[in-house]
Chains A and B, each alone.
Chain A
Amino acid sequence: MKRGFIVWSVLCCFFLSFGFAKGAFAKSKIIIGFTVSQTGKLNAESKEQFNGMELWKDYVNKHGGIYVKNLHKRLPVEFRYYDDESSKDRVQQLYVRLINQDGADFLISPYSSGLTASSAIIAEQYGKVMLATGAASDGIFSKGYTHIFQIYTPASRYLTGALDLLKARDPKAKKVAIIFEQSNFAKAVASAAKNYAEKKGFKVVIFESYGKGTTDFTSFLNKIAEKKPDAIIGGGHFADGETFAKQIFEQRLKVKLVSLLVAPAVPKFAEIGNAALYVTAPSQWEPRAKFTKSTAKRLGLPWFGVSANWFIKKYSKLYGETPGYHAAGGFAAGLVLQKAIEDAGCLKSSKVIRALENMDLMTFYGRIKFDKGDYYGRQVGHEMVYLQWQKKDSKLEKEVIWPRGAESAKLIYPYYKKF
C-alpha cells in the first residue's frame, strides 16, 4: 500500500510540470494568433502568406499600432504562431493553445481550406474572431459559424472564369477534364466548376481526384490521352500542381488550355521552366491588376490602407521577390482586422464582429464585403483575375489575361503551341 502512494505522489509531481496559465494584464498590446506551415507540402504558399502578414505588422507598428477608441491609445500588434507542419493533426491542438495559453485576442487562419476548417471549429468553440485567408472553400461557411470571416474569393467562383475564357477564345472547344486534389478546397472548386461547365454546354469527360501528396500522375495522363479533352482544369496546391504541370509537359499532351489552382500563381512556379509556359491559373490578386483610390471613388466605396505600388515595392525590397496573391491575402487579412478594430473602438469579439458585418471597402487587394446570409462570413466583394505564364525576352512572366478590361496581355492559345 505504502509504495502505491509513493508511486502516486511521484506521478502527481510529474503533473505539476504542466506550468500555469498566464493571468490577464492591463492591455498593452493586441495579440494575434495563428499557425504557419513552415514545413510540409504547403510551405511555399504559407510562407508567402506569412511574409505578407509580417509586412502588415511592421506597417502598423511603425504607426504606433492600432487605435483602440475605448482605451484612447494605439496598441501595438504582436504575433504568436507555431508551425503546423502542413498537417491537420496539430492544428486544433495549437489553436487551443493559442487561445488559452498565449491569450490571443484575434486569430488568423492557417493556410489552406483544410487546415482552416479544422481551426475554425476551435475558434468557434471558444468564441474568437478569426480571419480566414488562404482558405477559399465555401463549405467552411455553411456550418453555422459566426466568428469566421473570409478574405479570398470563395471556391464556387474560382475556376468559372477559366471556362468563360475558353468559351470566349474558342467556342468550338467542348470537352473538359477536371482533375483535382482530394482536399477541401480543390474539391469545392472542382464541384463548382463542373456544375458551371455543364450549365455552359461543356462536356466534362473526366472528373476525378487524386490523393494528397501524389507525385505520379501517369494514370491520369493516360486517361487524358484516351479521352482527348480540349482543356484540363483542376489541381490543388503548390507541390502537386507543379508536378502535374511538369508531367503534362513531359508527356506532350495535346490539350488547348491548362488551368491549375494555386501553383502557377506562386512565383516559384517558374522553376519548372518550359513546363510552366502557357499554363493559366486563377489568382486572387496580381501585381498587374491594380485597385486604387480612384477605383474606390468610382464604386463609391471607402478606401483603406496602402497602395498596391507601396505594397509591391516594400515587399520586393524585404523578401527579394515580387509578391504573389498569397502575400497580398496575408497583408489584406491584417488590414481588414485593423479596420474592424478601429471601427469597433474596442477589442470585444461581439463589437468587432458587428464592424466586420458592416464592412464594405476597397483596398489594394480589391473589394471586401462579407456574406450575412446562409453562408455567414463568406467573401462576396472580392473578384478573381486569371493569369498565364508567357515569355518576354526569353524570361517567364505572369500576365493577366482575364477578365476583359483588366488584361495586361492576350491569351496565347492553344497550350500545345509550344511543343
Chain B
Amino acid sequence: MEAWIGAILSGILLGLVYGLAAMGLNLIWGVINVINLSHGAFIALGMFSAYFLFHFAGLNPFIAVALVLIIGLIIGMGAYFVALHRVLDAPELSTLLSTYSLSLIIIGLGTFIFTTNPRAIDIGLGSIGVAGIYIPISKILTGLFSVLFTVILYLFLYKTWTGKAIRAVSMNKSAAEFMGVNSIFILSLSFGIGIALAMIAGCLIAAIFPFTILSGSVYELKSFVICVLGGLGSPLGALIGGLILGLLENVFALKIPVGYIPFIEFMILVIILLVKPTGLITKR
C-alpha cells in the first residue's frame, strides 16, 4: 500500500514537471501552428543557464527561474525573427527544418563549449517523509512551480489584453490585424513565451535530475506525446497530459517491466494521431 501511495505521489510530481516541459511546445504548436523541433535544445539551454547561475552567481534554480524567464523571452523572440518569420507561410517542411536547424546550432555549440559530460546541481534540500514515504524537497518545489507557471500562463492568456491578442491571432490572423493587433509582434511574443517556458522547465529539471547538453531530447519526445494527449493551445491540457504520462511511468511501472513504458508512450502518440488526425489540426 505504501508503495502505491509513494508511486502515485512521485507520479504526480513527475507529471507536473513533464507538463511544464511540454507547455512551451504546446503553446507554439497551438498558437502559430509550428512544431518547434528546437524545444529540447532550449530545455537543455535552460538547464545550463541554471547550472551557471548556480555555480557562478550562487542563485539556486528556484530563484534563478525568474532570470531564466527573461533570458528565454529575449532569446525566443530573437530566434523567431532569425529562423521563423521568413518561412512562416512556407510549407510545413520549412518550419520543421528551420527550427531543427536552430536545435542543431544550439546543441552543436553547447557540445563544443560544455562537452557532453554529465552535470548536476546539488542544492541539498534533503527529503521530507511521512509514514515511511520520503520525497526530496526539490521535487516538491518543482511541482509547485509547475502549477504556479500554469496559473500565470492561464491568467495571461485569458485575462490580459496581450493574451487575448495572442489567442485572437491564433484563431484568425487577418481578422486580428484588422482589429489593430500587431500580428508580427504577437507571433514573436508567442514564440518567445514558448521558448521561455521550455527554458524554465529545463531550469527546474536541472534542480532534480543530472543532465547533459543532450538531455533535452528526451523531454522533447515526451512533450510530443503530452501535446497530443492533452490537446493543443491550452496550458491546462499540457498539465493533464503530463500528469497522465507521469502516472503511467510510475504507477503502471509497478506491474510491468519499465522497459516497455517508452513503447507504450509512443504507441499512444501514433494511435491518437491516427484516430484524430484532423481533430488536432483543424481545431482552430
Contact = CB atoms under 8 A, between A and B. Distances in A.
Q: Do chains A and B touch in the complex (CB under 8 A)?
A: yes
Interface string B66-81: 0000000000000000
B210 A220 contact: no
Interface stretch (B113-121, B172-180, B186-194): B113-121
B210 A239 contact: yes
B212 interface: yes
Q: What are the 7 closest A-B residue pairs judged by CB atoms, nearest first?
A: A226-B3, A39-B115, A219-B253, A215-B209, A252-B134, A222-B7, A225-B3
A272 B124 CA distance: 10
A86 B254 contact: no
B2 interface: yes
B127 A251 contact: yes
Contacts of B7: 219, 222, 225-226
A222 B120 CA distance: 23
Contacts of A40: 115-117, 212
B2 A220 contact: no
Given A215-B215, A219-B250, A251 B261 contact: no
Contacts of A210: 258-259
B10 interface: yes
Contacts of B115: 38-40, 43
Nearest to B125: A250
Contacts of B2: 225
Contact of A85 (B116, B122, B124, B127): B116
B250 A218 contact: yes
Contacts of B163: none
Interface string A37-62: 01111010000000000000000000
B220 interface: no
A222 B3 contact: yes
B116 A86 contact: yes
Interface string A12-53: 000000000000000000000000001111010000000000
A39 B262 CA distance: 27
A39 B254 contact: no
Contact of B10 (A43, A222, A243, A252): A222
Interface in B92-150: 111, 115-118, 120, 122, 124, 127, 129, 134-136
Nearest to A227: B3
A41 B120 CA distance: 13
B6 interface: yes
A210 B257 CA distance: 10
A216 interface: yes
A255 to B, nearest CB: 13
A220 B258 contact: yes
11 contacts: A39-B115, A40-B116, A40-B212, A210-B259, A211-B259, A218-B10, A223-B258, A243-B120, A250-B127, A251-B134, A251-B135
A223 B249 CA distance: 11
B41 interface: no
Interface residues of B, number: 36
A209 interface: yes
Contacts, number: 87
B212 A219 contact: no
Interface in B1-28: 2-4, 6-7, 10, 14
B210 A219 contact: no
A215 B205 CA distance: 11
Contacts of B124: 273
A215 B210 contact: yes
Contacts of B259: 182, 208-211
Interface in B199-233: 209-212, 214-215, 218
A223 B256 CA distance: 10
Interface of A: 38-41, 43, 85-86, 182, 208-211, 213, 215-216, 218-223, 225-226, 239, 242-243, 250-252, 272-273
A300 to B, nearest CB: 46
A208 B258 CA distance: 7
B257 A208 contact: yes
A315 B2 CA distance: 49
Nearest to B135: A251
Contacts of A222: 3, 6-7, 10, 250, 253-254
Contacts of B209: 215-216, 243
Contacts of A273: 124
B14 A216 contact: yes
- Of A43, A219, A239, which is in contact with the most chain B CB atoms at under 10 Å from its CB? A219
Nearest to A222: B7
Given A251-B127, A251-B134, A39 B117 contact: yes
A221 B254 CA distance: 10
B117 A225 contact: no
A239 B134 CA distance: 23
A86 B69 CA distance: 33
Contacts of B261: 219
Given A223-B258, A251-B127, 16 more contacts: A41-B212, A43-B115, A208-B258, A213-B212, A213-B218, A215-B211, A216-B209, A219-B261, A222-B3, A226-B4, A239-B118, A242-B210, A243-B210, A250-B136, A252-B127, A252-B134
A370 B211 CA distance: 39
Nearest to A253: B134
B210 A43 contact: no
- The residue among A39, A41, A225, A239 with the most chain B CB atoms within 10 A of its own CB is A225
Nearest to B10: A218
A369 B266 CA distance: 48
Given A40-B117, A41-B116, A208-B259, A226 B10 contact: no
